[in-house]
Amino acid sequence: MHTIEEKKAAFERLLTVLDTLREKCPWDRKQTNQSLRPNTIEEVYELCEALISEDNAEIRKECGDVLLHVCFYAKIGEEKGAFDIADVCNSLCDKLIYRHPHVYGEAVANDAGQVCENWEKLKLKEKGSSHTTLGGVPHALPSLIKAYRIQDKAANVGFDWGVPGDKGKDEHDRQVKREQVWDKVKEEIGEFQAEVENMDKEKASAEFGDLLFALVNAARLYHINPDTALEQTNQKFTRRFNYVEQQAKARGRDLPDMTLGEMDRLWNEAKALGL
């Protein structure tokens, strides 16, 4: 691994290359915050895909692409006289130091849960009385991630499963809280089924949303990220379905002409192969 001096030199090289491209490349020269925004979203999703795949080469590459965008926005800010990359780094460092008083100050945090609770309290203090607990959840987040973040932020201020007023932190107390969520999941399944049977599409949609929200809550309580879990299942389904389609073609068959039983047999082959 590289020394701190080598890391500084690499970051300086990146900034120098970006300055050169901004000056001499027609494409780089014309970019704005708004023109870069869609590409930034795409790059972040590509990084997320690499992270799920645990592909270190791809993670390194995609981290670079995201870092380029961060530096590009700082460069545009510098050109406007608003801020530069030093301001970005310093403001981040200031925030990290302020929100880690158990490291840089006198506060005590014995586990990650206490760190998160302190973090949310400090955020509220920073924002002032007009700031709300859920105000920091971006509206543009995908719904599954947003549900997780909403529940996580509410839990950090004590709005979570358990006996009202119970602030127990030991493993037994957390286990009691986790178990309570299943009654809510079962309740939401029943309410969704009832509205489906009533053929009321609008109410069924609302109840399905409630069911998903309850399942996200269950995932959170068991320390499972629902977005990561669902994406892993998406990828697993895609691998297996692609196998079914490839094997069907190898046997001169088209999927629409196959029976469900025939496709199931190929699906089970894919499972047996560990796909």
DSSP-derived letter for residue 195 is H
- Mean of the per-residue pLDDT values of the chain: 89
Between 116 and 24, name the one with better pLDDT: 24
Task: Report the C-alpha gap between 123 and 177 in whole angstroms.
Answer: 26
pLDDT tens per residue, range 124-137: 777 665 677 888 78
- pTM score of the predicted model: 0.68
Instruction: Please state, in angstroms and as integers, the Cα–Cα distance from residue 116 to each residue in 83, 196, 247, following that order.
Output: 29, 39, 49
pLDDT digits (tens, 9 = 90+) for 137-159: 888 888 999 999 999 888 877 78
Query: Are the C-beta atoms of residues 189 and 215 closer than 8 Å to each other?
Result: no
- Average pLDDT estimate for 230-253: 94
Question: What is the spatial distance between Cα 169 and Cα 186, in angstroms, rounded to a whole number?
Answer: 26
Q: What pLDDT, on the 0 to 100 scale, is given for residue 269?
A: 94
Question: Strand, helix or coil at 156?
Answer: helix
Residue 119 has pLDDT above 90, yes or no: no
